[in-house]
């Protein structure tokens, strides 16, 4: 059987690279793409390599980045344009294989096992992809190659991003020499908390995890312990699946508020807006949900407060008023009265909205029809075409959010 050949292709400093590609004036300048600092979104979303040389890091606060690199050009994100460019890059990948799986807006997996007779050896295919992306988008890409998705991901993150070619082939028989010496926090799917747990067990490198008794890992973490051991040893049978994101387990949205909300009347405004947005997305995807979850985070970073609670419904729904009613009930029951800075609503345990229980006590069909009619208006003219009166209050965020994608300006 032919060994699998999986790519993880990553766009270097994607948002910043798109801005530089579009504006020749920025080409030789340090560029930072950041949200709006006046609305608590002044966080570095992307920094070009020139800015990173000054120590600028993704996800740090904009003012900290500007202290490190005062000469940096700060650009507000254009999310709609980035999505368009990402889609164009996906189209490039599809010329080489139909097995393309998005991992994020700037990273995608490719299975090129069956493409080698047409396009050459793995390294040759990677070079062709790099050249094509550069020619058509003027964006530099890096390619990690392995026999599985996890190996390809680590090949890209730890090696391809750090060599001159931007390509690295991490072969199975080279794991002990190349991958295993890396510290444990470098391993895919090992976060800071898991890293601390493993280090307390004396596991400080990927190799030590690979050679650790599997039975002890399973006894401590069950199936998760076995998954970690398999990844460390380079075993991952998950396929590159173009439809992997088609079936959702939950639909949710959370919002960082522009200032601390400290009254119930203030908080209920964005709670209703978020409930409406979640239901709108659920209807667009053809889902209803059985479980409504609400979470909020306090304004004091040093003394974290907040909650996350959920409630199962008697019937599945995607109606705004029903989700909002439960969200309000959960909020009133669990809010500690302290100011909050972030709030979110999620609808989970999803099922198709094609089949549901009818009720003798209310006409849900009319309510579904009304909300779908509003959805069609918003789809055609934008979310700001029709809004609830409460969104016109100072606490409302719907008007500002209508001009954004994923919390960032289009």
Encode pLDDT of 344-388 as tens digits: 999 999 888 887 666 666 677 788 888 888 888 888 888 878 888
Q: What mean pLDDT, rounded, does the chain reach?
A: 89
* Mode of pairing for the β-strands spanning 73-75 and 31-34: parallel
**Which candidate, 72, 74, 103, places its Cα nearest to that of 89?**
103
- The percent helix, strand, coil of the chain (3-state, each to 5) is 45, 25, 30
The pLDDT assigned to 367 comes to: 84
| Stretch 57-80: mean pLDDT | 90
CA pair distance 44, 31, nearest whole angstrom: 10
CA pair distance 34, 252, nearest whole angstrom: 24
The pLDDT assigned to 135 comes to: 96
CA pair distance 406, 55, nearest whole angstrom: 26
CA pair distance 319, 323, nearest whole angstrom: 6
Instruction: Give SS3 for 9.
Output: strand
Q: Does residue 294 have a pLDDT over 70? A: yes
Q: Does residue 38 have a pLDDT over 60? A: no
Contact in structure between 222 and 247 (CB atoms under 8 Å):
no
| Stretch 122-147: mean pLDDT | 96
Q: Does residue 279 have a pLDDT over 90? A: yes
Contact in structure between 288 and 318 (CB atoms under 8 Å):
yes
Q: Is 405 exposed, middle or buried (0-12, 13-18, 19+ CB in 10 A)?
A: middle
Residues belonging to the binding site are: 10, 106
Residues belonging to the binding site for Mg(2+) are: 10, 106
What does each C-alpha distance from 56 to 51, 60, 177, 356 come to in angstroms? 6, 8, 31, 51
| Stretch 217-222: mean pLDDT | 91
Q: Which residue has the higher pLDDT, 41 or 47?
A: 47
| Stretch 140-165: mean pLDDT | 95
Structure tokens at 293: 């979850």
- pLDDT band for 41, please (50, 70, 90 cuts): low
pLDDT per residue over 297-319, tens digit each?
A: 887 766 778 899 999 998 899 99
Give the angle subtended at the CA of 225 by the CAs of 223 and 229, to the nearest 5°: 115
H-helix or E-strand spanning residue 400: helix 398-401
pTM for this model (two decimals): 0.71
Q: Does residue 153 have a pLDDT over 60? A: yes
What is the set of active-site residues?
Answer: 107
Q: Does residue 254 have a pLDDT over 90? A: no
Task: Give the range among 127-141, 313-327, 381-395 with minimum mean pLDDT.
Answer: 381-395
The pLDDT assigned to 397 comes to: 79
Instruction: Give SS3 for 267.
Output: helix
Q: Does residue 37 have a pLDDT over 60? A: no
CA pair distance 337, 325, nearest whole angstrom: 19
CA pair distance 208, 200, nearest whole angstrom: 13
Q: Which of 45-49, 243-247, 304-308, 350-354 is predicted most confidently?
A: 45-49
CA pair distance 195, 338, nearest whole angstrom: 33
Q: Which residue has the higher pLDDT, 325 or 192?
A: 325
Question: What domains are there in the chain, each with its CATH number?
Answer: 14-78 (3.40.1170.60), 177-232 (1.10.150.20), 250-409 (3.30.1490.100)
CA pair distance 63, 51, nearest whole angstrom: 14
pLDDT per residue over 90-101, tens digit each?
A: 999 999 999 999
Q: Does residue 409 have a pLDDT over 60? A: no
The pLDDT assigned to 192 comes to: 85
pLDDT per residue over 120-132, tens digit each?
A: 999 999 999 999 9
């Amino acid at each position: 059987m032919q060994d699998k050949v999986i790519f993880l292709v990553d766009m270097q400093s994607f948002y910043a690279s798109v801005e530089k590609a579009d504006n020749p004036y920025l080409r030789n300048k340090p560029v930072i793409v950041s949200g709006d600092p006046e609305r608590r979104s002044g966080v570095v979303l992307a920094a070009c390599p020139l800015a990173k040389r000054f120590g600028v890091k993704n996800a740090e606060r904009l003012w900290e980045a500007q202290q490190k690199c005062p000469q940096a050009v700060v650009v507000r994100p254009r999310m709609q344009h980035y999505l368009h460019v990402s889609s164009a890059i996906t189209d490039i990948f599809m010329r080489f294989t139909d097995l393309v799986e998005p991992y994020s807006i700037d990273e995608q997996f490719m299975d090129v096992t069956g493409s080698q007779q047409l396009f050459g050896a793995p390294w040759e295919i990677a070079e062709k992809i790099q050249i094509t992306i550069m020619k058509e988008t003027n964006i530099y890409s890096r390619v990690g190659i392995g026999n599985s998705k996890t190996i390809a991901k680590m090949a890209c993150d730890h090696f391809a991003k750090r060599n001159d070619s931007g390509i690295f082939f991490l072969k199975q028989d080279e794991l002990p020499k190349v991958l295993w010496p890396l510290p444990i926090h470098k391993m895919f799917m090992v976060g800071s908390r898991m890293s601390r747990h493993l280090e307390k067990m004396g596991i400080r490198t990927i190799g030590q995890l690979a050679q650790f008794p599997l039975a002890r890992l399973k006894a401590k973490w069950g199936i998760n312990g076995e998954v970690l051991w398999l990844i460390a040893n380079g075993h991952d049978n998950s396929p590159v699946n173009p439809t992997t994101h088609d079936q959702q387990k939950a639909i949710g949205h959370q919002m960082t508020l522009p200032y601390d909300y400290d009254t119930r009347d203030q908080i209920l405004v964005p709670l209703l807006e978020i409930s409406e947005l979640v239901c709108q997305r659920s209807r667009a995807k053809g889902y209803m949900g059985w479980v409504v979850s609400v979470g909020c985070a306090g304004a004091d970073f040093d003394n974290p407060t907040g909650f996350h609670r959920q409630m199962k419904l008697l019937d599945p729904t995607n109606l705004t008023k029903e989700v909002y009613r439960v969200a309000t009930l959960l909020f009133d029951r669990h809010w500690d009265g302290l100011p909050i800075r972030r709030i979110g609503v999620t609808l989970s345990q999803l099922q198709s909205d094609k089949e549901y229980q009818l009720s003798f006590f209310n006409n849900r069909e009319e309510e579904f029809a009304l909300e779908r009619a509003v959805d069609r208006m918003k789809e055609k003219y934008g979310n700001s075409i029709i809004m609830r009166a409460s969104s016109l209050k100072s606490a409302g965020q719907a008007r500002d959010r209508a001009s954004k994608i994923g919390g960032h300006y289009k």
